[in-house]
Chains A and B, each alone.
Chain A
Amino acid sequence: MSWQGLKLWFHSLASPPHLYRFAATIEPWLAWPAWILLGIGLYAGLFIAPADYQQGDAFRIIYVHVPSAWLSMAGYAALAVASAIGLIWRIKLAHWVAHAAAPIGASFTFLALVTGSIWGKPMWGAWWVWDARLTSELVLLFLFLGYMALAQAFDDPRKGDRAAALLAVVGVVNLPIIKFSVDWWSTLHQPATIAKFGKPSISWDMLWPLLAVWLGATLLFAALTLLRTRAIILERERSQSWVAEALR
Chain B
Amino acid sequence: MSATAALVVRDLRVAARRSGEVLTPPLFFIIVTTIVPLGLEPEPVLLAKVAPGILWTGALLASLLGLERLFAADFDDGTLEQLVLAPAPLALLVLGKVTAHWMLTGLPLLLVAPLCAELLALPHAGLPTLLLGLALGTPTLALLGALGAALTVGARRSALLLPLLVLPLAVPLLIFGARAAALAADGEDPTGPLLLVAALAVFALSLAPAAIAAALRISLE
Bound Cα distance from A163 to B203, whole angstroms: 21
Q: Are A146 and B164 in contact (CB under 8 A)?
A: yes
Could you mark each residue 188-221 of chain B with 1 if its beta carbon is under 8 Å from any beta carbon of chain A, else 0? 0000000010001001000100010011001101
> With an 8 A cutoff between CB atoms, is B158 at the interface?
yes
- Of all chain A residues, the one with the shortest Cβ separation from B176 is A181
Q: How far is the CB of A1 from chain B (nearest CB, A)?
A: 37
Q: Are B168 and A153 in contact (CB under 8 A)?
A: no
> With an 8 A cutoff between CB atoms, is A142 at the interface?
yes
Bound Cα distance from A174 to B196, whole angstroms: 14
> With an 8 A cutoff between CB atoms, is A149 at the interface?
yes
Contact A150:B167 (CB < 8 A) given known A159-B218, A166-B214, A185-B175: no
Bound Cα distance from A143 to B168, whole angstroms: 7
> With an 8 A cutoff between CB atoms, is A202 at the interface?
no
Q: Are B218 and A145 in contact (CB under 8 A)?
A: no
Could you mark each residue 129-161 of chain A with 1 if its beta carbon is under 8 Å from any beta carbon of chain B, else 0? 000000000010011011001100111001110
Contact A181:B175 (CB < 8 A) given known A145-B164, A146-B165, A163-B215: yes
Could you mark each residue 143-169 of chain B with 1 if its beta carbon is under 8 Å from any beta carbon of chain A, else 0? 000010001101111100100110111
Could you mark each residue 9-44 of chain B with 1 if its beta carbon is under 8 Å from any beta carbon of chain A, else 0? 000000000000000000000000000000000000
> With an 8 A cutoff between CB atoms, is A74 at the interface?
no
CB contacts (< 8 Å) of A139 on chain B: these are: 168, 171
Q: Are A177 and B200 in contact (CB under 8 A)?
A: yes
> With an 8 A cutoff between CB atoms, is A167 at the interface?
yes
Q: Are A153 and B211 in contact (CB under 8 A)?
A: no
Q: Are B154 and A154 in contact (CB under 8 A)?
A: yes
CB contacts (< 8 Å) of B218 on chain A: these are: 159, 162-163, 166
CB contacts (< 8 Å) of A177 on chain B: these are: 172, 200, 203
- Of all chain B residues, the one with the shortest Cβ separation from A138 is B168
Name B96-145 residues within 8 Å CB distance of A. none
Contact A142:B164 (CB < 8 A) given known A170-B147, A178-B172: yes
Sample of 9 A–B contacts (CB below 8 Å)? A142-B168, A146-B164, A150-B151, A150-B165, A153-B157, A159-B155, A166-B151, A173-B207, A181-B175
The 10 closest A-B pairs by CB, nearest first: A181-B172, A153-B155, A142-B168, A162-B218, A185-B175, A181-B175, A146-B164, A146-B165, A163-B151, A177-B172
Q: Write the residues of chain B forming the contact surface with A, with a CB cutoff of 8 angstroms.
A: 147, 151-152, 154-158, 161, 164-165, 167-169, 171-172, 175-176, 179, 196, 200, 203, 207, 211, 214-215, 218-219, 221
Q: A153-B152, A167-B151 are in contact. List 7 more A-B contacts (CB 8 A).
A: A143-B168, A145-B164, A146-B168, A153-B156, A159-B154, A163-B152, A170-B169
